[in-house]
Amino acid sequence: MLNENHALIFDFPEFKQDIVYLNYTDQEFDKLSKQYHLLDYDIRQLEIAGSPTDDEHMHQLKLQRANLKDLLFQKLKAHHDESKSQTANS
């Protein structure tokens, strides 16, 4: 779907607290998250403008976004599982 906002909080609502926590406590996560959101914004702006770029460039941007999203998801899942485990052991 064109111009769909892929913000982490929309795509992973079950990790909302983890996203907020990691954005404040993990510099690498925060940096990657900002990079992801800027890239998502750029892609949406290109889509709104009728994709004034070639297909290969758009494909590369979306691939980069998907790779960042996968990395961020792995970090979210690891943090979530660790937090859940610590809570269960308390």
Sign of CA dihedral 72, 77, 83, 86: negative
Distances (CA, A) of 53 to 46, 67, 76: 8, 21, 32
Distances (CA, A) of 72 to 24, 44, 52, 56: 14, 20, 28, 24
Q: Is residue 87 part of a domain?
A: no
Q: Over the stretch 3-13, which tens digit does the pLDDT of each residue have? A: 788 999 999 99
Range of the domain at 32: 16-79
What is the model's pTM? 0.88
Please give the backbone phi and psi of residue 66, each rounded to the nearest 5 degrees, phi first.
-65, -40
Q: Over the stretch 36-78, which tens digit does the pLDDT of each residue have? A: 999 999 999 998 888 788 889 999 999 999 999 999 999 999 9
- Note whether 43 and 4 are within 8 A (CB): no
Q: Is residue 20 part of a domain?
A: yes
**Total structural domains in the chain?**
1
